[in-house]
Amino acid sequence: MFLDDLMRELHVQLQHAGHTCLKILFKMFKQLEKTPRTVLACERSHLDHEKARLGTHVEQHFFNHKVSLLVPGCDRLPAELDSALNSMRSFLLVKNLPLSQLLDKEFLEKAVYKGSTYGLSYQTRIDEDNCFALLPNGKLVLSVDKDTYETLGLEGKPSQYQRRPAGRYVVSVDLKDRTMSPGGKGHQRVLKALTEHNPLSCDLLLSQHLPGDESPALQSLLSNHKLSEHRPRVSTHVMTSLPCPTLVTSDLQGEQQSCDPQSFLEWLGAVDAGVTFEEESGGYLSTYECPQPQTVLDSAVRCSVTGLLLPEDIYHLLDVLRRSVLEPKLAPWLALTVHGFQDSPVSWGTAEHGFLSGGENFYTLVLFQNLDYWICMATGSHDACPP
């Protein structure tokens, strides 16, 4: 009798233990299914609508690495569009530039105060290295690790994404501020930090937009440094019999007959990556299909430009797109995707940007023939919500 009781008790205990084990395993699997936060902000409006903020979104996305354009319904890009894509301005790569050079009186006068200058440290990783950016509004952003921050002696804020314990700090210096004029108090302090405390230097990508026809002075300003000029790289592909999802202008959420923005972005990505939509191995390799409802395009052209591309150039491209979309020969829409640099310290405006798993920050503009547009702005987990 005693043994029987004991066995029963043991059985209950074992069942209980097994249950706990399963619970822990279940919890572990649930944890594994978590993915980093992502945000997708979509807007729909008309180019001439009073609330349309398309221009602001383009202007505020400072550091653009790649522009890809998809023009359905043609086998050659319209001449005007082709020239706009090929005429994106060239940029400079300055090797080992001391940051104190950016505070030089002549540099400030010719590059920072006049027109807009874009500068971004080259081949630095935002989650590991010191990254720097010179924004067109005259702000110099230093995203530095803790050790560098402590030796610099400049006032900054802990990074939003590496807060506990703070491993990264963001220092923002407004070069257009009154105290930052050459000889001013702030100017001297920052100059001292960047020359004596910690003489930081990096390879810097630089480009400048000047109002009117004035030619940029960057090359002559930095002539005593090792620099090279690069032209954006353009590549064009023509595709035939391309399955293409149907878009309905008024249906931004994909509730009626239209493809929803997320599926559309995925399809655009697949086209950009050169995915073939015909499965050859009986569904073993891929089950990806073009979203429904779909039509098959006879031909389409995709063109991509990579480099340090200025928002001003993209804005010009938008103007050309606006004229091109009205051509009756083309398909009812055009799609333009602009990718930001993954390791840029800012994404939109001065919003801090981080990496975590992807560092993606891009926007896709779909322009319809009636000049309605969709803009979808996507950011990864270490990023603010797009404006």
Partner 1 sequence: KERTDIKLKMPPAVYERVVVKNSPVYQYMKVSLVLEKAQTKLTAVEFKHLITTGLKSLYGEVGAAFPFDLLTFEEDTLTAVLRIYSRGLVRLWSSLTLLGFFQQQRCAFRVLQVSRTSSYTL
What is the length of the chain? 387
Closer by beta carbon to partner 1, 38 or else 240: 38
266 touching partner 1, by CB under 8 A: yes
Q: Which of 66, 187, 353, 382 binds partner 1 (CB under 8 A)?
A: 66
Min separation Cβ 11 and partner 1, Å: 26
286 touching partner 1, by CB under 8 A: yes
Closer by beta carbon to partner 1, 159 or else 337: 337
Q: Which of 167, 269, 332, 349 binds partner 1 (CB under 8 A)?
A: 269
11 touching partner 1, by CB under 8 A: no
Min separation Cβ 46 and partner 1, Å: 3
Q: Which of 4, 5, 29, 212 binds partner 1 (CB under 8 A)?
A: 29
Q: HSE of 139 in the Cβ direction (CA atoms, 13 Å)?
A: 14
Closer by beta carbon to partner 1, 40 or else 351: 40
Closer by beta carbon to partner 1, 138 or else 261: 261
Closer by beta carbon to partner 1, 188 or else 306: 306
φ/ψ of residue 152, rounded to 5: -65, -45
Q: Which of 178, 285, 328, 329 binds partner 1 (CB under 8 A)?
A: 285
The dihedral of CA 287, 303, 313, 320: what is its sign?
negative
347 touching partner 1, by CB under 8 A: no
Return the range that interacts with partner 1 (CB under 8 A); candidates 111-119, 217-225, 290-298, 352-360.
352-360
Min separation Cβ 70 and partner 1, Å: 10
239 touching partner 1, by CB under 8 A: no
Residues 173-192 that bind partner 1 (CB under 8 A): none
Q: Which of 8, 11, 49, 230 binds partner 1 (CB under 8 A)?
A: 49
Q: Which of 4, 34, 183, 278 binds partner 1 (CB under 8 A)?
A: 34
Q: Which of 12, 39, 166, 326 binds partner 1 (CB under 8 A)?
A: 39
Phi-psi region of 248 (alpha: psi -120 to 50; beta: other; left: phi over 0): beta
Closest by alpha carbon to 311, among 112, 135, 97? Answer: 135
Q: Which of 57, 60, 62, 68 binds partner 1 (CB under 8 A)?
A: 68
Closer by beta carbon to partner 1, 130 or else 361: 361
**Residue 143 near residue 179, CB atoms below 8 Å:** no
Instruction: Determine the Cα–Cα distance for residues 138 and 305; give it in Å rounded to an integer.
Output: 26
Min separation Cβ 9 and partner 1, Å: 32
Residue the block writes with tokens 């921050």: 149
Q: Give the binding-site size for partner 1 (rule: CB under 8 A).
A: 54
Residue the block writes with tokens 């804005």: 315
Instruction: Determine the Cα–Cα distance for residues 350 and 133; give it in Å rounded to an integer.
Output: 10
Q: Which of 215, 287, 328, 329 binds partner 1 (CB under 8 A)?
A: 287
Closest by alpha carbon to 315, among 24, 127, 133, 89? Answer: 89
Return the range that interacts with partner 1 (CB under 8 A); candidates 28-36, 100-108, 151-159, 204-212.
28-36
Q: Summarize as ranges the residues that interact with partner 1 (CB under 8 A).
A: 29, 32-35, 37-46, 48-49, 51-52, 65-66, 68, 249, 252-253, 262, 265-266, 268-270, 272-275, 281, 284-288, 306, 337, 339, 342, 357-358, 360, 362, 370-372, 378, 385
